[in-house]
Structures are given as C-alpha cells and as structure tokens.
C-alpha cells in the first residue's frame, strides 16, 4: 500500500511542476503585449526573468534545507501561496520595478520550492524504480511549455495580458494548493526526520545537513550539474537565432523549441528506465557524451530539417539526464539531508544555466559567428562527461539510506 502511494506522489509532483513552472516560464508570450500596453522596454520586462533565475536558484537551496526540517508539504504550500501572490501583484503592476519585484523576486522564489522538496519526498518512497519515478515527476516541467504557454497566449489574445496573468494566478492556486496536500514523505523517512525528543543536545541535524555539502561526492555532483547546464543553456538560447541566420523563417526556427521539448519528454522516460536497469552513473555519462556530440554537430547544419533532427537528439540527451542527478544524490546521501543536497545542486545548476546565454552572446559579438559557441559548449559538455566518471559506486549503507553519506 505504501509503495503504491509513491505513484500518487509522482502524479501530484508532475501536476504541481507543470502548473508552477508553466506559470513562471510563460513570460515570453507576455513580452510583446506588455511592452505595447505599458511602454516598458523589452529589456526591462525580460529582466524580470533574469532576476527570477537568480532568485530561484538561491531560494531553491533554502527551500530544500527547510524541507528537511519541516517536510515537503508545508514548503510546497507556502510556495504555492507565494506564487499566486506574486502573479497577482505582477498582473496589477503599473511600475516596471514593481513588476520585476513581483515576477522576478516573488514568483522566482516560489519556483525554487517545487523541485528539491518534491523530488526529495518522491525519492523516499522508491527503492526499485527511483529513476523512473523522478523522471516522471520531471515530465511535468517538460509538458509545461506545451500546455501553460499556449493557454496563456490564448487568454492574452482574448482578454489582455493583465487578465490573462491574473487568471493564471488564480488557476495555479486552485490546482496547486489542493494537490500539494497529497505530498508527504514515506513513513520511514518521516520518522527519521522527526525531532528526537529524548536525544537532547546530542542531535545536531543542521550541522550534519551542512557537512554533506563539503564532501567530495557533493562537489562532484554539483560540478557535473553545473557543467551540464552550462553546456546546453547557450545552444538552447541561441539556436533559434542561429537557425534564422542559416535561412530559416522565424516561425520555423521557433519550432525548434517544441521539437526539443517533445524529445525531452521521451528522454526522461527512456533514460529513467535505462538507469533503473543499467545503473544511473553509466546512463548519465552516456547522456552527457551524447549531449556534447549533438552540440558540436550544430556547426555543420544549414537546413531547418537538420536543425529539427539534431534538436530531437539534444532534447533527448539533456531532458533524459537532468532528472537523474537527483537519483544519484540519493545513492550517496541519506534521505534526512536530501532536501539540502538537492536544493544546493539546483542552485549550482541555475548558475550554469545563467552562464550559457551570456557567454554565447559574447562569443557571437566577438567573433561574428555562433560556431565558437557550439565548440565551447561541446568542450564543456565533454568535461562534464569526464568528471562524471569520477563518481564512485555507492555503498550498501548509502543505498539503504541508513548512513549520511558514502565516503569517497
């Protein structure tokens, strides 16, 4: 019965991440109507997304650590309210700085709470099918651009951007808050996390949680995640512009995102099943190598159909690899500190994601071509694959969850 409830957590997590991440990342469809209505610059409006990325990464660390202490459900509930409040305030904003604060700081901070706590809770329910379960939760984030973004565009066209954003806010509250009530840790994990009333001052949970961030296992895990995200974020952001330079239409180039998104959904399922069968470390290394090869191949493309074919490979690779870092973390660290570990890993990945677009823009401005972006990104991707080989096999103590970590 308990193991079956784990799949309820998976379904709830997928719904929550779909709605929450969809609401956060729908800003591009608001850009044009907002600029026309308010007179705000596109750079100023887009700046809210930059703020959101930074805040989301930092807040994700804090939310993850907090979930280790009070559980995933209260953290997700608090973030749900913050998400709705931020979107409502943003929809009513008449000053740019108010919008940037509401959408960037509040919504961004809320967005950081929907990964580490939910994945941590999911991991506590599974021993046999961890990779598949985590991958299925992450499917929600992959579906979000295909569901929430078109819905937001329809609402904007019909009622204007302010009413659309307000409707998304209300819808998010109505869906996410009740669904959050389904999130809970497995009984064994909840008992381990509960304060030991008779332990006195001997129990030092916060110290144990923070100490894992100094271990070789976490340093390698966070470094691989950073390099992985730094490798694919630049190509993801700049490939549409590159395709247009190669002669594609704006609509045809924009469809590359959809191809990557659909491929990413299949990648999550395929890599999740493969990791459960062949081992998560092997699949991560293979996926990172495939990602690097796919990125490098972009310099040889000239036609839009070639872009679609390669986008499907790249989407399959990075979409499949990303959820597996959480599974690997569970192989090394106890469930008691999983929120802290995943939150800190998310923060380093967010920094990697932030570096790619900026670096790619600088390389193009400096050399007048995107070829050096793909060469540099492929090299970073190979470094990630090489560093992933340094992951040691987990001990039986770590696999059972009885220990804090597996020594290097």
Q: What is the CATH number of the domain that holds 343?
A: 1.20.1250.20
* Integer angstrom CA distances of residue 297 from 237, 265, 274, 302, 317: 16, 22, 25, 11, 14
DSSP character for 368?
S
| 351-385 pLDDT tens trace | 888 788 778 888 888 898 999 999 999 999 999 99
The Cα–Cα gap between 45 and 31 comes to 7
pLDDT score recorded for residue 188? 63
Whether the per-residue pLDDT at 393 is higher than 80: the answer is no
227 and 374 co-located in one domain:
yes
Q: Is residue 162 part of a domain?
A: yes
| 322-345 pLDDT tens trace | 889 988 888 888 878 888 898 889
Residue at which a domain ends, from 192, 227, 256: 192
178 and 237 co-located in one domain:
no
Q: Is residue 171 part of a domain?
A: yes
380 and 341 co-located in one domain:
yes
Rounded mean pLDDT of 61-78? 90
**Token pair for 322:** 């990303």
Whether the per-residue pLDDT at 202 is higher than 50: the answer is no
DSSP character for 112?
T
Contact 14, 136 (CB under 8 A): yes
The Cα–Cα gap between 321 and 398 comes to 22
* Integer angstrom CA distances of residue 293 from 231, 304, 371, 376, 382: 11, 19, 14, 12, 8
Contact 224, 384 (CB under 8 A): yes
186 and 284 co-located in one domain:
no
pLDDT score recorded for residue 198? 43
- Higher-pLDDT residue of 294 and 1 is 294
Rounded mean pLDDT of 132-161? 83
227 and 369 co-located in one domain:
yes
- Higher-pLDDT residue of 149 and 105 is 105
- Higher-pLDDT residue of 128 and 175 is 175
pLDDT score recorded for residue 399? 47
Quick one: which of 324, 342, 319 has its CA closest to 284?
Answer: 324
Residue at which a domain ends, from 140, 158, 192: 192
Q: Any residues with CB less than 8 A from the CB of 95 and at least 6 apart, and which?
A: none
184 and 257 co-located in one domain:
no
pLDDT score recorded for residue 153? 83
Q: pTM to 2 decimals? A: 0.73
Contact 264, 139 (CB under 8 A): no
The Cα–Cα gap between 349 and 162 comes to 32
The residue segments making up the domain with residue 349 are 206-391
pLDDT score recorded for residue 190? 54
Task: Tell me the percentage of the chain whose pLDDT exceeds 70.
Answer: 89
Which run of H or of E encompasses 394?
none
Residue at which a domain ends, from 161, 192, 223: 192
């Amino acid at each position: 019965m308990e193991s079956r409830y784990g799949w309820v957590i998976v379904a709830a997590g997928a719904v929550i991440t779909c709605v929450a991440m969809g609401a956060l990342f729908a800003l591009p469809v608001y850009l044009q109507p907002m600029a026309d209505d308010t007179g705000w610059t596109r750079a100023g409006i887009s700046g809210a997304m930059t703020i959101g990325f930074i805040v989301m990464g930092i807040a994700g660390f804090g939310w993850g650590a907090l979930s280790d202490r009070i559980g995933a459900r209260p953290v997700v509930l608090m973030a749900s309210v913050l998400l709705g409040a931020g979107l409502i305030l943003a929809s009513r904003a008449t000053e740019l700085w108010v919008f940037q604060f509401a959408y960037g700081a509040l919504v961004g901070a809320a967005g950081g709470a929907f990964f580490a706590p939910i994945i941590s809770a999911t991991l506590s329910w599974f021993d046999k099918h961890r990779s598949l379960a985590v991958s299925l939760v992450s499917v929600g984030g992959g579906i979000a651009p295909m569901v929430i973004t078109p819905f937001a565009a329809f609402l904007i066209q019909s009622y204007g951007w302010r009413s659309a954003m307000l409707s998304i806010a209300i819808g998010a509250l109505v869906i996410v808050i009740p669904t959050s009530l389904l999130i809970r840790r497995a009984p064994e994990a909840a008992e381990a996390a509960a304060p030991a009333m008779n332990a006195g001052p001997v129990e030092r949970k916060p110290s144990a949680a923070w100490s894992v961030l100094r271990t070789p296992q976490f340093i390698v895990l966070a470094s691989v995640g950073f390099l992985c995200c730094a490798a694919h974020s630049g190509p993801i952001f700049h490939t549409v512009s590159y395709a247009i330079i190669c002669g594609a239409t704006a609509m045809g180039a924009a469809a590359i995102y959809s191809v990557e998104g659909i491929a990413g959904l299949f990648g999550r399922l395929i890599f999740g099943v493969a990791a459960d069968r062949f081992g998560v470390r092997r699949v991560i290394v293979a996926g990172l190598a495939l990602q690097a090869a796919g990125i490098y191949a972009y310099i040889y493309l000239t036609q839009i159909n070639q872009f679609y074919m390669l986008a499907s490979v790249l989407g399959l690779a990075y979409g499949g690899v990303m959820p597996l870092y959480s599974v690997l973390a569970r192989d090394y660290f106890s469930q008691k500190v999983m929120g802290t570990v995943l939150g800190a890993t998310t923060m380093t990945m967010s920094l990697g994601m932030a570096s790619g677009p900026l670096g790619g823009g600088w390389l193009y401005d400096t050399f007048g071509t995107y070829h050096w972006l793909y060469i540099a990104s492929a090299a970073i991707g190979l470094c990630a694959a090489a560093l992933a080989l340094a992951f040691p096999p987990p001990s039986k103590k770590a696999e059972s969850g009885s220990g804090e970590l597996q020594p290097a």
